[in-house]
Amino acid sequence: MTINHLLTDAVLQHAEEHAMSFTAFYNLTAEMVADNNTTGPVKSEERIQATKLNLQRLNRLNKTVQLQQVWNEINTNSVNHFEWMLITETWCGDGAQIAPVIHKIAEKLQIPLKLVLRDENIELIDRYLFRGTRSIPKLICFDTNSGEELGSWGPRPAEAQQIVDDAKANNIPHDDYVLALQNWYNQNKTVSLQNELFSFVNDCLR
């Protein structure tokens, strides 16, 4: 990463030193599954099983995601000063649904993309709390010329977030609303996600 302020910002410097490509993150997920393990300090059976499901999701989305025509409207020269950092974990269900799409958009627009693990970068995620929580994934856009942060997005599309909010308001069990959330992702086929990310890119250009 060539962001100027990484030289003086220890938190971002640490994140950069431990960052990985999307392919490396995919390989890490596969390694965790092979070892019956997961990333982060919590090695619960729930997170281990979630990591296994997420590897399947990564495989499926890598093969099936089709970018919308709107991405052709963005000239790669207009975003050649962008650099993206995505905070996630192998056990994160939203991350598995979202990271492959961000990866394909980054490739399309020729934006460098680095992924970092939340629990190895606590000081970083604490800068991007969502309603006071360390919710992931979180996408951050930097200007490589000035070192300025241009914007951040996450942890999930607004429609998906509403499912979570409604479930919590009605005391729906966690496993039930997680299933409803993943069903929404499958049915929506990344449409809402791509729409929000398209708006995010345009907001970062302003």
Q: What's the average model confidence in pLDDT over 94-110? A: 98
Q: How far apart are alpha carbons 20 and 183 in whole angstroms?
A: 29
Residue 63 tokens, joined: 């093969």
Q: CA triplet 26, 28, 34: central angle to 5 degrees?
A: 105
Q: Which of 1-5, 26-30, 53-57 shows the lowest per-residue confidence on average (mean pLDDT)?
A: 1-5
- Whether residue 134 contacts residue 118, with contact meaning beta carbons closer than 8 Å, is answered with yes
Q: What is the largest CA-CA distance in the chain?
A: 48
Whether residue 8 is predicted with pLDDT greater than 70 in this model: the reply is: no
- Whether residue 116 contacts residue 15, with contact meaning beta carbons closer than 8 Å, is answered with yes
Mean per-residue pLDDT over the chain, rounded: 95
* DSSP-assigned beta bridge partners for residue 141: 84, 151
Ranges of beta strands (E only) in 4-154 are 82-88, 113-117, 138-143, 149-153
Q: pLDDT exceeding 90 applies to what percent of the chain?
A: 93
pLDDT by residue (tens digit) across 141-178?
A: 999 998 899 999 999 999 999 999 999 999 999 989 99
Whether residue 49 is predicted with pLDDT greater than 70 in this model: the reply is: yes
Ranges of beta strands (E only) in 17-112 are 82-88
Whether residue 3 is predicted with pLDDT greater than 80 in this model: the reply is: no
